[in-house]
Amino acid sequence: MGQGSQKGEPPLRWLFLDFDSYFASVEQQERARWRGRPLIVVPLENTSATGAIAVSRQAKALGVRRGMMVDEARRLCPGIGVFPARHEVYVAWHHRLMREIERHAPLDQVHSVDEVSIRLGRSQREPDTALALARAIKAGIAARVGACLTCSIGIAPSRLLAKLAAEMDKPCGLRLLTGADLPAAIAHLPLEDIPGISRGISRRLARAGVSDIPGLWKLAPRQARAIWGSVTGERFIRAFHGQDVDAPPPGPPGSFGHGRVLEPARRTPPAAWPVACALVLKAAVRLRRAGMAAGGMTLAVRWLRGGPGARQAGRGNAGDAAWSLRFAASTESFVFLRKLEALWAQCERAARKRPDPRLRNVSVHLHHLEPESARQLDLFDRMDGKARNRERLWAEIDRLNRRFGARSVEPASLRHLKLKYLGAKIAFGRIPEEGDF
């Protein structure tokens, strides 16, 4: 743990908080008898043909790792708890945790369901003060939210270094890095442990003669720019040296979409169709909430097994096959369902040509976005009064569901879609709002 900053060193500016084994910790908080015991969280219920998406610290100590198949986890750890993911529960706990953290300091950015960062105020930048804030956050979470929901916290001059510090002493760690600590305090780490160093970047660094942290530390910003092939490399190396350099804020979204791994009973195209409908309806809600209209859709699937027709060309998600179409920009869910029906017919035709037509997962994306307020209606296909009324109807349904809970109001014609089935949803990348489930 670093001591006080010396004159001329970059000041402490960032606190980064990373929750430990988040999904598994929530399950232990909710299930008292599993506290302190090994458990894993899996995407699907009642199947051993799936891997762990979260592992409790007790299971990690016994050699269980994320991605390990259930049967292997049970071999290593007889009696291990296996629980299907409950993303609505994890999101609810996330929002409770955020409210507690904000009692101590304003959040600067929520990076994922289990990672947040705080910009330290001028009065919080001394090491003792910053450490006191971190300990107060940890104590507040344990006392007012849940003792199982531990976190690791890093404090450093840049957000990049604070994130790295948070990962150095997991679980339940607290690490402070000052300019005086660097690079000695991190020199032992592999390059791939540094946030932002992917395998691809690691290979580029190796080609440039950089194979360790001391070598990375010596890179000049212009050299890093050349290795990365963009200004991202220069930003990275400056942040690595403790400068307060962040990437520019993200621009408007390029698409809205959802994907799901299918449980065994939902793997044929007819059984998966309601899931695809549920996905496009959820994407449409997010589209309208953002004030956007969509003029394109992509349906992507991954077959359970490879075979003829795999790796078809298509726009959008990674997968074995994808189909897209364009249409006049709309915000109306009925329009999106009709377009999805046309794409699904192509999926079914492809499935009929395969020895094994079963699907592993399905995803739907709405794209070719434009602001709803700036939407230009086609001169020869102007929206009639009925279409405008249907868009207003869906906007009102969204408003009622936000107020009274998701799916409190839904058209009777959609009951056959079984919207309550949403399959497995990994909630790390996007944080749904409360009531979205």
> 29, 84, 40: which is closest to 62 by C-alpha?
40
Strand order in the sheet with 39-42: 54-55, 39-42, 81-84
Question: What architecture does CATH give domain 256-417?
Answer: 2-Layer Sandwich (3.30)
pLDDT at 310 over 70: no
Instruction: Determine the topology of domain 182-249 in CATH.
Output: DNA polymerase; domain 1 (1.10.150)
Quickly tell me which residue has 């995407």 as its tokens: 43
Chain segment 373-386, per-residue pLDDT in tens: 765 554 344 455 66
Q: Which distant-in-sequence residues (6+ apart) come within 8 Å of 393 by Cβ?
A: none
Asked if residue 175 lies in contact with residue 169, where contact means CB atoms within 8 angstroms, the answer is: yes
Name the residue with higher pLDDT: 31 or 394: 31
**pLDDT number for residue 147:** 96
pLDDT bucket at 252, cuts 50 / 70 / 90: confident
pLDDT bucket at 305, cuts 50 / 70 / 90: confident
Average pLDDT over residues 312-339: 77
Distance CA 124, CA 131 (A): 9
User: What percent of the chain has a predicted confidence (pLDDT) above 70?
Assistant: 79
**Among 215-229, 234-248, 311-325, which range has the highest average pLDDT?**
215-229
- Measured at the CA of 60, the angle between CA 40 and CA 261, to 5 degrees, comes to 35
Name the residue with higher pLDDT: 368 or 253: 368
pLDDT bucket at 311, cuts 50 / 70 / 90: very low
Two structure tokens written together for 254: 């390029």
pLDDT bucket at 54, cuts 50 / 70 / 90: very high
pLDDT at 309 over 90: no
Q: Which distant-in-sequence residues (6+ apart) come within 8 Å of 177 by Cβ?
A: 2, 154, 155, 156, 157, 161, 162, 164, 165, 185, 186
- CATH 3.30.1490.100 domain span(s) along the chain: 256-417
Distances (CA, A) of 195 to 155, 164, 174, 190, 287: 15, 7, 18, 11, 31
- CATH 3.30.70.270 domain span(s) along the chain: 1-180
pLDDT bucket at 155, cuts 50 / 70 / 90: very high
Average pLDDT over residues 72-76: 94
Distance CA 429, CA 250 (A): 14
pLDDT at 211 over 70: yes
- CATH placement of domain 1-180: 3.30.70.270
Average pLDDT over residues 129-151: 97
Name the residue with higher pLDDT: 399 or 180: 180
User: What percent of the chain has a predicted confidence (pLDDT) above 90?
Assistant: 65
pLDDT at 431 over 90: no
**226 alpha carbon, distance to own chain's centre:** 30
Mean pLDDT of the chain: 85
pLDDT at 340 over 80: yes
Would you please indicate which residues are annotated as catalytic (active-site) residues?
115
pLDDT bucket at 3, cuts 50 / 70 / 90: very low
Quickly tell me which residue has 């409790």 as its tokens: 56
Q: Are strands 256-261 and 359-371 parallel, antiparallel or unpaired?
A: antiparallel
Average pLDDT over residues 347-372: 93
- CATH 1.10.150.20 domain span(s) along the chain: 182-249
